[in-house]
Structures are given as structure tokens and as C-alpha cells.
Amino acid sequence: MMRNPSHPGELVKHDCIEALNLTVTAAAAALGVSRKALSELINCKSGVSPEMAIRFEKAGWGTADTWLRMQMNHDLWQARKKSKSLKVKKLHCAQI
């Protein structure tokens, strides 16, 4: 079984901002976002949006696809942890 995937904000904080010795304010300015928006992301209070993923890509911080995949994997892991409480009736449909 896969382990809990890291929130992408942790990677942004450690592997991008801290690795480049940037302040959050400087990184936010370079990315063209507010300090608040970047702070919420690196403190795992918000997720990587498609627009933010493109900003990271343009900054040379990996590809937008990779950032969005990381966010999706994190979100899906969190949802699966709560899935036992979901009450769903089994329905069959055509192959997807």
C-alpha cells in the first residue's frame, strides 16, 4: 500500500523556496501571486491550482502536470481515508 503522499506545498517550501534561499515574499513576487496565497499553499492550507502549477512551471520548478498530479494524489489519499463513511449504493454501468 502506498504511503500518504506529501502535500505539494511542503515540496514548494523545502525544495524550491528554501533551496533558493528565498523569502516567501520574494518567491510570491517572482511568481506573480500574493504572499498570502503562497503562504497558504506552503502551509498546506490550500492546494496547487492549475494556474499556480503553470506559474511553477514558468519559474522552472518542474512541470505543471507533475504539480497537478502530486496535488491529485494527495487529495485522493485524503478522500480515501474518509471513504468508509460514504454511503453509496452499488450501481452497474457500461465500462468506463
The model's pLDDT over 30-80, given as tens digits with 9 standing for 90+, comes to 999 999 999 999 999 999 999 999 999 999 999 999 999 999 999 999 999
On the question of pLDDT at 90 being above 80, the answer is yes
- Topology, domain 8-81: 434 Repressor (Amino-terminal Domain) (1.10.260)
Per domain, the residue ranges of the chain are 8-81
**Do 37 and 9 form a contact (C-beta atoms < 8 A)?**
no
Between CA 16 and CA 46 the distance in angstroms is: 17
